[in-house]
Amino acid sequence: MLRTSFQSQKEVLSIRNLNVRFHTYAGDVKALDGVTLSVRNGEILGLVGESGCGKSVTSLAIAGLLPQNAEVVSGEVVLGGTDLLKMKKTDMRLARLRDIAMVFQDPMTYLNPVLPVGLQITEILTDDPRLFVQALIDNRLGQLHQGSLGKVEEQERKRLESQLNEGRLSKQELNRLAKAYATSMLKLVRLPEPERVFKMYPFELSGGMRQRAMIAMALVRRPKLILADEISTALDVTVQAQILKLLTELKEKIDTSVILITHDLAVVAEVCDRVAVMYAGNIIEVAEVEELFRNPLHPYTKGLLGSIPNPDAAGQELKSIKGSVPDLIYPPNGCRFHPRCPEKFDNCSKQKPRLLEVNPGHFVSCFIFGG
């Protein structure tokens, strides 16, 4: 069921054999064990798995925001041709500023409570004024929306260019441009009366509005990659649907890729193009959404899909995967899922299965399929 030939599509991000450990008093937590993943241009990749399987660690590793006690043992994270893990700290900061954006789970606490929303957005723009103005001149930002900056007039553009080159672009001018652009961004994420919302403090907005503001903040630089970490979890269901719809629409408009981290399979089915299933620090299955839901191969994926409550099966017992998530300080040998696997055999506890392409575009890491 391939919609397009994936071989021809460009990869925005590719993670190869990423190993991350956390040094703790109790021992080393092997949080990521050889994660290999790629994100293609313009797709939404769902990253699913239960709590503690390494979804968030993966996204933090991409953004270079792992906590102090984390160590990247090996692997590479290549974004647009450069390995992010080998970057210097300051370059990594610039990469975050320009190419990677994160949207977090809880919009209540991820905005600065004492600064109006609008200022928090303009700040991102004016942090690197040259880049922002250059983007305006190139009309890279302009084509997004129909606001006052929708079409930067030829004259205006020439004036900006000369001012920029002569280094006499005034602060007021810059702030005016940033404000106009930020307001149009707020409009783009469908916040009503963006001029008013611009001046409002986070506590004056509802949860859904705050999440929209967070998305506006993420989009404002037109990043190559958006890491959306459980963005809909803290919202109620109707708002969830709006936010997810907004994300898919915007992704198409501004041509960016999204990694959507979630444990909600319904969300994945709704918005994602492809899905990667994680278990205990491993990627165990990657496939297109339809393929994964129709034809799950890995026993864990089967268990995961089987444990979704189904209204048609009302009255029957809800299935669950037996056992519990392994302690990652002492992970099981071989396949990390084997102690809970209903289909395990001898080899499973001895060797680690490889991630192999079983069907076109469908990767699975299990000995049943060759491993």
Partner 1 sequence: MTELKETEVPKQKSGSVADVKYAFHLLKENPLVIFGFIISVGSMLVAVFAGFIVDPNTWKHVDLSMRLCWNNPTFNWGIVNVFNCAGPVYALGTDSYGRGVLEMIILGIPLDLQIALEVVASAVFVGVVFGGVAAYAGGVLEEIILRITDIFLAIPGILLAIVLLVILGRSFNILTLAVAITWWPTYLRLMRSQVLSEKEKPYVESLRAMGAGPSRILFRHVIPNSIYPIFVQATLDIGGVILTVSALTFLGFTPSPLIPELGNLANDGIRYLFTAPWLILFSGLTILIISLGFNLLGDGIRDVFDPRLRR
Minimum CB separation from partner 1 for residue 102, in Å? 4
Helices (H), 261-342: 265-271, 289-294, 299-306
* Residues in Cβ contact with 229 at an 8 Å cutoff, skipping those fewer than 6 apart: 55, 56, 59, 102, 103, 104, 105, 261
In degrees, to the nearest 5, what angle opens at C-alpha 253 toward C-alphas 260 and 77? Answer: 40
Beta strands in 81-132 (DSSP E): 82-83, 100-103
Q: Least CB distance from residue 329 to partner 1, whole Å?
A: 24
What is the total residue count of the chain?
A: 371
Q: Per CB under 8 A, does 300 bind partner 1?
A: no
The answer to whether residue 101 forms part of the interface with partner 1 (CB under 8 A) is: yes
Out of 28, 50, 106, 270, name the contact with partner 1 by CB under 8 A: 106
Report the residue from 190, 222, 263, 354 that binds partner 1 according to the rule CB under 8 A: 190
Which stretches does DSSP call E strand in 25-113? 27-40, 44-48, 70-79, 82-83, 100-103
Tokens, residue 7:
């071989």
List residues bridging with 287 in a β-sheet: 275
Q: Is 192 in the site for partner 1 (CB under 8 A)?
A: yes
Kindly tell me which residue out of 48, 57, 218, 259 binds partner 1, with binding defined by CB under 8 A: 218
Give the integer Cα–Cα distance in Å for 106 and 210.
Answer: 9
Q: How far is the CB of 355 from partner 1 (least distance, A)?
A: 28
Tokens linked to 57: 């660690």
The answer to whether residue 102 forms part of the interface with partner 1 (CB under 8 A) is yes
Burial state string for 339-361 with b = 16 or more CB within 10 A and e = fewer than 16 = bbbeebeeebeeeebebeebeeb
Among 32, 48, 178, 209, binds partner 1 (CB under 8 A): 209
- 112 binds partner 1 per the rule CB under 8 A: yes
Alpha-carbon distance of 225 to 192, in angstroms, equals: 26
Question: Given candidates 83, 249, 327, 343, which one binds partner 1 under the rule CB under 8 A?
Answer: 249
Among 94, 164, 180, 368, binds partner 1 (CB under 8 A): 94
Nearer to partner 1, 200 or 305 (CB): 200
Which residue among 66, 70, 87, 97 contacts partner 1 (CB under 8 A)? Answer: 97
Nearest distance, CB of residue 200 and partner 1, angstroms:
5
Rounded CA-CA distance 283/259 in Å is 14
- Tell me the closest approach of the beta carbon of residue 256 to partner 1, in angstroms: 15
* Residue list 20-79, contact with partner 1 (CB under 8 A): 63, 65
Q: Which residues bind partner 1 (CB under 8 A)?
A: 63, 65, 93-98, 100-102, 104, 106, 109-115, 123-124, 127, 190-193, 196-197, 199-201, 203-206, 208-209, 212, 214, 217-218, 227, 239, 242, 245-246, 249
